[in-house]
Amino acid sequence: MGSENCFSTRIAQDCYVGAESIAKRRAQTILETMIQTGESVAAQLMAQAGIQRLPTPKAELFQLRDFVPADLCADLIALIDQGRRPSTIADDNGDAYFRTSETCDLAADHPAVARFEALLSGLCGLDPAFGEPLQGQRYAEGQEFKPHTDYFTPGGRDYQTFCAQSGNRTWTFMIYLNDVPAGGATRFKLLDKTFHPEVGKLLFWNNRLPGGGVNPATLHHGMKVRKGVKYVITKWYRENPWRG
């Protein structure tokens, strides 16, 4: 009877070897995916001139000033103004004023968008196949995006809707397109750090922990614009190739 299942001594050994082989292959696939989607991209980024990392063990958070040329910033601002619509949010908490900005989905075949995508890919080295379409945001006076994370909370109401095909978000790359006279900073409360808008400045961070879980320390607040208008563009990368 024992020879008919994996609990016999002889066959159990064969089953164990087979399971171990499968586990190793799966682990290698997971590791390769983590590398492709940015789990180990921090070292590559830090090797490039001008990049500054926030000195904290709590998160991988960086900035790079003057990353996007002023003329390209102006072109992207014009595109956002042409195609803006009210911003939406997943897993909202019933607060109608949680996110009051406007959003613009930027067409990949537009020359300004293609130029930016090439600039970003050259910097971060992430496979473009894992990237979401580029998105722009516009914040008028009084508008904000209250404290939130860019990843989708595992087990959250909309987690399956947004993560079933492409997985969760890994890296966030956000670029300020203009100076703002007052307000509009991005505050990472749990990291005790606030970044102020500057033309062409790139802010980017890893939404995950070294083990692959989501990192709640990346909670951030797009603070209210007190004077003027703020424009940013955002690029998110996923665990798996983007499938819409």
Question: Considering the domain boundaries, does residue 151 fall inside one?
Answer: yes
Q: Which domain holds residue 17?
A: 1-36
State residue 43's pLDDT score: 79
State residue 92's pLDDT score: 57
10-residue mean pLDDT profile of the chain (244 residues): values are 36 41 46 47 81 96 97 98 86 69 95 97 92 97 94 89 94 98 98 98 96 95 97 97 90
The CATH number of the domain where 166 resides is what?
2.60.120.620
5, 110: one domain: no
pLDDT digits (tens, 9 = 90+) for 113-152: 999 999 999 999 899 999 999 999 999 999 999 999 999 9
Q: How many domains does the chain have?
A: 2
206, 122: one domain: yes
Whole-prediction pTM: 0.82
18, 71: one domain: no
29, 133: one domain: no
Closest among 202, 195, 186 to 116, alpha carbons compared: 202
Question: Considering the domain boundaries, does residue 128 fall inside one?
Answer: yes
7, 99: one domain: no
57, 122: one domain: yes
